[in-house]
Structure 1
Amino acid sequence: RMATAPSLAFLCIQSLKLELLRGDNPTPDVYELPSELLDGLVAHLPALALLNFQTHMPFKCWDNYESGDDCLTRGRKRARNDVIGESWKALFKLRWPELIHRVEPPADWQQLYLEKHLQNCVDEAAEVAMRPTFIGRISSISVSDKILRYICHEEHTNCQNCVCTQLSFHFQTFGPYLRCLRLLNVLCVTETCELLRTSKLQTLVLRWIRSEKHVEPLCKLLIQSRETLTSLEFIHCKLSSSSISAICASLHDKDIHTIGIQRFCIKTSSIDIDPLAAPSAFISFLNSVRSLHSLHFCDSHLDRHIARMVFFTLLDSSSNLSSLDLSDNNISGWLSTFSLRSVVGSLSSGKSLQSLCKLNLRESCTCSSSYARLGVS
């Protein structure tokens, strides 16, 4: 039995798809196609081609394409308006079907797709960079075919001179859509700061930071992201006093107006701070960052002296902290010198802890008197 010959519309869509994948300047005629063919094209584009389609769309076409023709009914106008968003949603569902139901509406499917794609690229690059035999630049790491087949097209392995094989291309092209990122220590290098220059990071999660050589590039990234970063988390890290000082100094500059860190978390890690000589940048961070709402030091090998120093620094600060987590630390007896009078004095002067809604001391205060001092049964 002979195979059915492809339709003319199918051949047109395939040709235009390849042109859009090449990117630079797709022919303007593509935007003059009849609406049925144009919608069919959009519905069949892979992610890179769809992004190029949007990027190069003439300004005059946006209103027509998003709003539909004036003669259309309200329902059909909405269908035209949603076609690009639905295409991004379909691409997300095709690639990560197990995650589709976790996304709460309203959702920016384009941003979610490209952010998740970059995280996949970063995770894959970290695996390559951790190999003892790896020599070279992070930006030159090749992205695998199993990723490229989604971003370009399924026949990617047969494509000659594809522009999207290197990690650098993906950050140059999709970096502005990155808001949240998980980063392993092996990628905490100066080169990563360059890759992330166009990103507007809001949430950054660091894992296995255990050396000063990782902290310096990290601080550059924090300074670079200071205008947008609101959440910073460390997991499985070993942070010295100098590391904590450098990190806090990078997050806070009283002379620069930023959104400010709202959530600072160190968990399942180790913090080495002398409570009698705590870094001034750390104290300043606790004292002065009014944007800070959530502070977590859970399972971070805090001793009772550091816990007490943190608590009383916050007590005398002017922050708006609503959640403090000191759980899973060996800090029994940390409130042995706790004075209710000092708390009343701080509260009456309008200082912190008035906004505190949650204090987690699970597996930390083994002494019942500690809870009693806080009024906890």
Structure 2
Amino acid sequence: MVKAPSLISLAALAVKRELLLGDDVIPYVCELPADLFDILLTYLPPLALQKLQTKMDGDDCGSPDYCFENGRKHGRYGNFNTVWKKLFKTRWSGVTDQIEPVDWQQRYWEAHVQGCLDEAAELVVLPSFRGLISDINISDTILNYIGYEQQMNHLACDYSKLSYHCQQFGHYARCLRLQNALCVEETCQLLRESKLQSLVLRWIRFEEHVQALCKLLIQNSETLASLEFLHCKLSPSFVEGICRSLCSKRKRIHKIENLSIDISSFIENCPSSVVVELVSFLSSGRSLCSLKLRHCHLDRDFGRMVFSSLLEASSSLSILDLSGNSIGGWLSKYDRSGPLFSLGAGKSLQSLRLLNLRYDMIGNAVSLLLCKLFFPTINSWQFQ
């Protein structure tokens, strides 16, 4: 025998539908006793919860002190965060953050925007794709997760379009991954409200990708701290464009803390020019604390130039990963008693705590001894 629904659950579902379709019920929701209010939150899907919290943040429930006497406002806002955490864990049960988020509402919508962009990227690469990226229809699976219902299709906003999701929730995005298919001018417009702190880029290889990427970097230059390139092809103009997009116009200094270029390659007909541009970028990074250039087909001349630029830079690098390259022999060219190591020079390398030179043809125990002489502060070594 099926258990009959409780009166509270029926009322909560009715309120949910009203919230999804309009705002009229919100003042009455704000009048609920704290215990009923908390129960209601657990019945709300993301779209309804978002609308209610946004209205309450804007004091749309009435006067500024409306229904928040005796410290109840703080408690209710804490309950919102708990519900957002539950919604996130339900939708992305296999995702575990290294550091638990403080703001679960932000984390939820950031992951939602990423899911929408991933879906869009799969469609854009199809030969049959025509039209605007912003007009791409989001799948029913994603729409159902956030609480979209068919009776909402008469509303002014079009929940089915990618543009709606980017415009409404793009400002929550702090960390995103972008495929090359989405590195276009239109994506920059869709993400114009974002304040990205971390950006992962994949398969960036052509000039049109670079131009759009540079615009996106300019939009987020004040907040971006981590930049990762995966399966990319780097040209001098590519690296120069990145540097100019991120650097302050006055001081030519960027705020990147973590730079990673992985399983990528340089344009073969002008590798030295690429190295010069990359070295210039490294020299402009006073905040740089992690540098990873892995499996990029780099030779020992490149290793020497990177090493020289880091010796002269003013950042405090703690992680240096040059694994998967052919840079063996570059350490033996330096004299630790020389001028580069005197009078405080080499600050970037004095702060090193982790050095990874795996698969770098670094040589035998002599090379390891050289590394220990050059980098006495390192407490984690990885060689092979």
The TM-score by the shorter chain falls in which range? Answer: 0.7 to 0.9
Residue 368 of structure 2 corresponds to residue 375 of structure 1? no
Q: 1:29 to 1:238 in 2, by over 3 A?
A: same
Indicate conservation of the 8 Å contact 2:246/2:254, yes or no.
no
1:188 corresponds in structure 2 to: 183
Contact 1:303 1:329 in 2 (8 A): yes
Q: Is 1:160 aligned with 2:157?
A: no
Deviation at 1:130, TM superposition (A): 1.1
Alignment of 1:272-351 (within 5 A): 272=267, 274=270, 276-278=272-274, 281-342=277-338, 345-351=340-346
Name the SS of the counterpart of 1:226 in structure 2. coil
CA distance in structure 2 between the partners assigned to 1:25 and 1:250 by the alignment:
46
| TM-score (ref. length: structure 2) | 0.85
How much does 1:210 deviate?
A: 1.3
1:138 aligns with 2:103: no
Where do 1:30-69 residues align within 5 Å? 30-57=29-56, 59=59, 69=70
Q: Measure, in 2, the Cα distance between the counterparts of 1:103 and 1:297.
A: 23
Higher mean C-alpha deviation, range 200-209 or range 344-353? 344-353
Compare 196-205 and 238-247 and name the one that shifted more: 238-247
More displaced 10-residue stretch of structure 1: 311-320 or 160-169: 160-169
Q: 2 CA distance for matches of 1:120 and 1:277? A: 37
TM-superposed CA distance for 1:9, in Å, is: 4.1
Per-residue CA shift, 1:6-52, capped at 9, x if unaligned?
Answer: 65544443332223223567542332233343222221111111011
Give 2:215's match in structure 1, choosing from 213, 220, 226: 220
Decide whether aligned partners of structure 1 residues 63 and 310 sit closer, same or farther in structure 2, where only a CA change above 3 A counts: farther
Work out whether 1:121 is the aligned partner of 2:116: yes
1:338-376 Cα shifts (integer Å, max 9, x gaps): 33233x633424443222222211110332344343336
Would the aligned equivalents of 2:301 and 2:330 in 1 still touch at CA under 8 Å? yes
Residues 333 and 351 of structure 1: CA distance in aligned 2, closer, same or farther (over 3 Å): closer
In structure 2, C-alpha distance between the alignment counterparts of 1:24 and 1:281, rounded to whole Å: 54
Counterpart CA distance in 2 for 1:356 and 1:252 is 24
2:357 to 351, 358, 361: 361
TM-score by length of 1: 0.86
For residues 208-287 of structure 1, what are the structure 2 equivalents within 5 Å? 208-253=203-248, 255=250, 260-272=255-267, 274=270, 276-278=272-274, 281-287=277-283
d(CA) in 2 for partners of 1:46, 1:21: 9
Q: Aligned pair in 2 of structure 1 residues 81, 278: CA closer, same or farther (>3 Å)?
A: closer
SS at match of 1:341: coil
Cα distance in structure 1, aligned partners of 2:145 and 2:165: 13
Q: Pick one of 166, 172, 178 that aligns with 1:177.
A: 172
Q: CA 1:332–1:351 in structure 2 vs 1: closer, same or farther (change >3 Å)?
A: closer
Question: Counterparts of 1:272 and 1:336 in 2: how far apart (Å)?
Answer: 28
Query: Contact 1:275–1:305 at 8 Å: present in 2 too?
Result: no
- Deviation of 1:326 (Å): 0.8
1:178 Cα deviation from its structure 2 partner: 0.7
Query: Cα 1:179–1:45, aligned 2, differ >3 Å: closer, same or farther?
Result: same
Q: Distance in 1 between matches of 2:15 and 2:63?
A: 18
What is the identity percentage for the equivalent residue pairs of Structure 1 and Structure 2? Answer: 47
CA contact (8 A) 2:236 2:273 kept: no
* 2:81 counterpart SS class: helix
The change in CA–CA distance for 1:126 and 1:277 in structure 2 (over 3 A counts) is: closer
Q: What is the rounded CA distance, in whole Å, between the counterparts of 1:69 and 1:195 in structure 2?
A: 42
TM-fit CA distance, 1:61: 7.4
Residue 209 of structure 1: CA displacement? 0.8
Check whether the contact 2:254–2:286 (CA below 8 A) recurs between aligned residues: no
Determine if contact 2:197/2:226 at 8 Å carries over to the other structure: yes
Alpha carbons 2:41, 2:49 under 8 Å: kept: yes
SS of the residue 1:221 aligns to: helix
What amino acid sits opposite 1:147 in the alignment? I
Structure 1 unaligned blocks of 5 or more:
none
Q: Judging changes above 3 Å, is the alpha-carbon distance between structure 1 residues 239 and 22 closer, same or farther for their aligned structure 2 residues?
A: farther
| CA positional deviation for 1:319 | 1.9
1:56 Cα shift? 0.9
